Structure 1
């Protein structure tokens, strides 16, 4: 029979073995293994410092490029859009750089007839929103000068309302009845009251001949695909009524810049700039509009891989 003394001796031997193992393991780590770990940590620390220096250098270079673009803009743009009537339409994704786009258009001499800020509610895929937009376009907001036969009849609220807005904010086709300033104001007021857009004093100084649509990166929520599709429909309807340049941010995913560039039909009539969030891109946005109005030519510009036109349009001297 195993007695209590045997158990004590056995347990003592086990704990002694564990203690010896800890001592030996610690000694081993304090040798070559520890030295190797320290070398790896030091190497990673140096790599991190070098990366920080590279990032700081690139940021400084980008800031200098922005300054260069801002300083050269007054030499490039003045007079390029003198007498041209331009409407600026912005979406929430491009709101932050809309002011910069407007500034460059005005520097080029454009008469900015107005600025319309489309709210996210306008592109919501909710069925109630669709029905409300359709009702506004067909009855509540539509002036007599825009017959319902001139609007899309497919029941898509965003598309129909975009067509109505384009009809009253841009030049009318030859032979069509003109839209009065009073009618134009009523249309804007109706959509603004319903929360679909905002416009300073709900006033636009007459019809425009061209539009700059300022957007940003694609939406990322669960309804992103439908929202991006609605933005494309807005662009299509304004393109039907006048020259159109999309000043965007990025050219991947489902944003309107990417869609236009991937569409062989839309890319023939709609110009895109994929870096309009920068001063360089804002200058190019104005130049792309010059090309649209003077050469009747669309181009895809910026820094994206699908910018077939390069960094900026090659305008005739």
Structure 2
């Protein structure tokens, strides 16, 4: 007769067999599994080191390219913009640090070309915010000198009206006097938080380089990006314009994509680099000679660099 003790012994034997099976199975599989894991770890380590080496090599090549562009800049630019008064405009945004760096580089190249930077205007994000259009209209109306107010566009677009006012006081042909009331206009926009100013602005500029970063983002991005293009277009009506972008996106793409302004505004899509900064100044030389083009390595670029051009005083 099978008793309770028999059942206990049987169950114990079953669990013992399972335990032995698990131990034996784990021991048998442990070797190949461990080897496979070790191989994967070693492969990942090698890949990481390769990526690190590739990154260092890319950084070294970029530095060599920058050094090369800096060294050849005097040969390409010297005297090309002698006695030319140029304004720098930079667009404030999420990548303002890179825009500032690019602007400083362009300013250095302008100096190499012999031009004088009359000042730098920073267009704050507040300027392109749709909700501030009425405020911009009021500011333009209240600060515009009598000699300019009658020529401002009569419409409800605050960005366009204010851009037209700024263009009227900032730009002029070589030898023309500064518009009376220029400092009042600039100070009004600065104190209201729409622009930042750096320079004396005592002389009208004959041309402008606009340094632009990434396109605006967020719920009002479409309107803000359109406002930036409006600003560039209004400046284009008053002077010679080059847009120097950090990439082929944003304002560069907007200009190239506009069938009208892409024939008069030149663009450079790699102004974050030294050779892009050289290209921006070469493009401005070309614009002052009556030509335009789109340069860099992004979509819509005609070539990496413009052909060299000479500009005579008074062009």
- The bucket for the TM-score relative to the shorter chain is 0.7 to 0.9
The answer to whether residue 140 in structure 2 is matched with residue 120 in structure 1 is no
Where do residues 2-17 of structure 1 align in structure 2 (5 Å cutoff)?
A: 12=12, 16=16
- The 8 Å contact of residues 257 and 273 in structure 1, kept in 2 or not, is answered as yes
Secondary structure at the counterpart of residue 181 of structure 2: helix
- State the shift of 1:274 in Å: 0.8
Q: Which moved more, 1:208-217 or 1:224-233?
A: 224-233
Aligned to 1:136: 139
Q: Distance in 2 between matches of 1:24 and 1:157?
A: 81
Distance 1:163 1:28, change over 3 A: farther
- The 8 Å contact of residues 242 and 283 in structure 2, kept in 1 or not, is answered as yes
Secondary structure at the counterpart of residue 145 of structure 1: helix
Which of 206, 209, 219 is residue 209 of structure 1 equivalent to? 206
In structure 1, stretches of 5+ residues that fail to align are: 173-177
Aligned to 1:170: 171
- The 8 Å contact of residues 301 and 313 in structure 1, kept in 2 or not, is answered as yes
The answer to whether residue 253 in structure 2 is matched with residue 258 in structure 1 is yes
Distance 1:35 1:78, change over 3 A: same
Calculate the aligned-residue CA RMSD, in Å.
2.5
Secondary structure at the counterpart of residue 214 of structure 1: strand
- The 8 Å contact of residues 95 and 215 in structure 1, kept in 2 or not, is answered as no
Secondary structure at the counterpart of residue 114 of structure 1: strand
In structure 2, stretches of 5+ residues that fail to align are: 311-315
TM-score, normalised via structure 1 length: 0.87
- The 8 Å contact of residues 192 and 198 in structure 1, kept in 2 or not, is answered as yes
Where do residues 286-301 of structure 1 align in structure 2 (5 Å cutoff)?
A: 286-294=281-289, 296-301=290-295
Distance 1:198 1:10, change over 3 A: farther
Aligned to 2:239: 242
- The 8 Å contact of residues 209 and 243 in structure 2, kept in 1 or not, is answered as yes
Aligned to 1:175: none
TM-score, normalised via structure 2 length: 0.87
